[in-house]
Amino acid sequence: MKRLLWMGCLCYVLTGFTLVIVGSVLPELLAHYSKGYGDGGKLVLIQFIGLLGGVLSMPFMIRLVGRRWTVGIGLVGMSVETLFIVSPPWGMTMPLLFVAGFGAGLVEASIGSLILLAAKERPAAAMSKLEITFGAGALAMPFLVSWLIVKDSWLLAFPVLGLSALLLAVVWGFLSFGELDRTLVRGALTAEVHTDSRNTDKGEGSRSKSHKGENKYIFVLCALFFFLYGGSEVSIIHFLPSVFMEDRFAGASAASLVVSVYWIGMVVGRTATGLLADRFGYYRFLLVSAGGAVVVLGGLAAGGGLQTGFVLAFLVGLFMSGMFAIALIYANMQMPGRTDRTTSLLMAVNGSGGALLPYLSGWTMETFPAQATVWLLAGCMGLMLLFLILVRQAGLFAGIRKWYDGRGKWKGIS
């Protein structure tokens, strides 16, 4: 399991690289091809479509070729970014980014579901490690690109990513994972996310497969939670610097640092996510995270000085740091027996929120004062808190109904 987790972390570093590399080099890339920001937006969109396609294709690919080959194919897909070193014609850039995005989606979803299944008793600790490395990758790539830009070698960022992915694909293909090797080949693990009696205090009771309507209701609530989380995270990354410039009169250089402060809060928080979630329970952890994010974003929207703003940006990252991983575990525990499909769909919904909700955030930035955008994000966190409570109530109701079905009748109660 340790070897698998290390490989998963390396894969997540590269997916973090892949998802931010275009934005990091976008000004230089557009100048190189003599294109405008509208064309740059198309590049970002096509990579997202590829990512979404990879995430949604993961269950089918696992059934078709198994987990090991699915991850390997995804890594090879990411490696096509190496071709940017030869400055391909503009018409080739979009297909290359689509393939790279598709590969990143396959890798991220496959590794995420595999770790959820293989970790068994401590999925929170394992998933938090993956999220730490993803955040580290997303945080490190802009620094690498900045250094390469100074050296006038920004194109080298693409082969650094591509060749690393290709090397990791080779290692992944030949490395032995012990007893997990057969499950990697078959594609299906016999164990599901662990839900024994030790999890009852965390609100993770298993659901009867006969209650499909309840599962659909829970899935819709979880999907709304992930949609709002994905949209809020991307909106914060893209618009928080502008909010600081307009509302807190920060200079361009100071405002650009706010995203780094936010990511630092993310990375710091993820180091403790597994420990806290396992100790206090997944539901309580998510409840505190969403509630804390509402309060902090409300404080950020209320205005204030620049230094206070940086502290609040750090706290936003801190409270949001474990939401994705723990919510993914919690959702799978509410709907056992379908981890691959649930993980794939929720990741896709999360990505869709990241693509669509920023449009609303951008409209509020143009139409209203900057605080309105932050209040919008605080409202999203408030809705996430509501959906979480509704999932909990649905889970309790399903537990009571399961007990009743097991008894057959309301009799014999002492």
Place of tokens 């599901």: 192
Instruction: For residue 218, give every residue at least 6 positions away whose Cβ sits within 8 Å of its Cβ, in sequence order, or none.
Output: 207, 331, 334, 335, 391, 394, 395
d(CA 166, CA 73): 10
Place of tokens 């194109």: 155
Residue 346's pLDDT is 92
Residue % of the chain over a pLDDT of 70: 85
Q: Are 231 and 357 in contact (CB under 8 A)?
A: yes
Strands (E), 341-408: none
Average pLDDT over residues 62-82: 91
pLDDT at 310 > cutoff 70: yes
Q: Are 92 and 28 in contact (CB under 8 A)?
A: no
d(CA 88, CA 93): 7
Average pLDDT over residues 59-65: 88
Place of tokens 């009571």: 400
CA R_g for the chain? 22
Q: Helices 212-247 and 323-334 sit at what angle, rounded to 10 degrees? A: 170
Q: pLDDT tens digits for 162-173?
A: 999 999 999 998
Average pLDDT over residues 352-378: 87
> Architecture of domain 2-186 in CATH?
Up-down Bundle (1.20)
pLDDT at 249 > cutoff 50: yes
Residue 31's pLDDT is 86
Q: Are 294 and 164 in contact (CB under 8 A)?
A: no
- Ranges of CATH 1.20.1250.20 domains, the chain: 2-186, 197-407
d(CA 142, CA 57): 29
Q: Are 282 and 233 in contact (CB under 8 A)?
A: no
Residue 199's pLDDT is 44
Average pLDDT over residues 393-398: 67
* More confident: 260 or 317: 317
Which of 183-197, 205-219, 295-309, 398-412 ranks highest by mean pLDDT?
295-309
In 3D space, the residue among 277, 362, 261, 244 whose CA is nearest the CA of residue 314 turns out to be 261
Q: Are 25 and 157 in contact (CB under 8 A)?
A: yes
Average pLDDT over residues 41-61: 86
pLDDT at 411 > cutoff 70: no
pLDDT at 197 > cutoff 50: no
Residue 414's pLDDT is 31
Residue 313's pLDDT is 92
Average pLDDT over residues 382-406: 75
* More confident: 136 or 373: 373
Q: Whole-model pTM above 0.85?
A: no
Residue 203's pLDDT is 43
Pick the CATH number of 197-407 from 1.20.120.1460, 1.20.1250.20, 3.90.110.10, 1.10.274.50: 1.20.1250.20
Report how far apart the first and last C-alpha atoms of the chain are (Å, whole number).
46
Q: Are 313 and 262 in contact (CB under 8 A)?
A: yes
In 3D space, the residue among 368, 365, 104 whose CA is nearest the CA of residue 238 turns out to be 365
| Average per-residue pLDDT for the chain | 82
